[in-house]
A and B are shown apart, each in its own frame.
Chain A
Amino acid sequence: GESVGLHLPTLSVQEGDNSIINCAYSNSASDYFIWYKQESGKGPQFIIDIRSNMDKRQGQRVTVLLNKTVKHLSLQIAATQPGDSAVYFCAEPVNSGYSTLTFGKGTMLLVSP
């Protein structure tokens, strides 16, 4: 039969707004998390990572927050630009090898000029 497509959560914002993308994880032992951005027709691109001994990490216009109590991650993008339009994934290593990752379902961010 026909497979059901993923219904990606979509966040629509205006240019200049701040965006917050959320991700829940299930493994309380997870100690490393990564956010990826995937633009249409391209492979995922590393944005920022965070280890479990941190609650917050900042990059250029991006901040990742980690709440271990409720097993929740968020990616905040400041002053969102049309070029930020993409699908955003959180990911965590499956084991000690960080090249084996489990990806979340993704959130589509649409930025209107």
Chain B
Amino acid sequence: KAGVTQTPRYLIKTRGQQVTLSCSPISGHRSVSWYQQTPGQGLQFLFEYFSETQRNKGNFPGRFSGRQFSNSRSEMNVSTLELGDSALYLCASSFSVAGELFFGEGSRLTVL
């Protein structure tokens, strides 16, 4: 069974640009969560989606947004990129909102 797939794995952007990251959950998983990992702040929760609905949102500015499609695939978008947005963005899926989380390998974003 394929794991959580995140694309792209690496990307470089400049300040002011926007970026879209994609996550394909494990087949059959309907819950998708996103986390940001930085050396300064560690792992921080961004948002969680279940059946195309955002269930929870972390303490991030409105420049961070996401969505989930009917096939459970999810995307997150960061607009007007700042240097501090450089991070590893991790997606995790679970069968239900109370199930074990399975993480992808992440998308490493560098903002110059």
Contacts and interface: CB of A to CB of B under 8 A. Distances in A.
Interface of A: 3-6, 41-46, 49, 89, 94-106
A-B pairs with the 3 shortest C-beta distances?
Answer: A43-B103, A5-B39, A3-B40
A43 B39 contact: no
A101 B84 CA distance: 22
A7 B55 CA distance: 32
* Chain B contact patch, size range: 20 to 34
A92 to B, nearest CB: 12
Contacts of A49: 100
Contacts, number: 69
B101 A46 contact: yes
A42 to B, nearest CB: 5
Nearest to B31: A99
B85 to A, nearest CB: 12
A98 B31 CA distance: 10
Nearest to A89: B43
B99 A98 contact: yes
Contacts of A44: 43, 90, 101, 103
Nearest to B45: A100
A110 to B, nearest CB: 18
Nearest to B95: A99
A3 B86 CA distance: 11
A97 B43 contact: no
A101 B55 contact: no
B104 interface: yes
A99 B105 contact: no
Interface string B56-79: 100000000000000000000000
Contacts of B99: 98-99
Contacts of A46: 100-102
B105 A41 contact: yes
Interface string B1-42: 000100000000000000000000000000101010011111
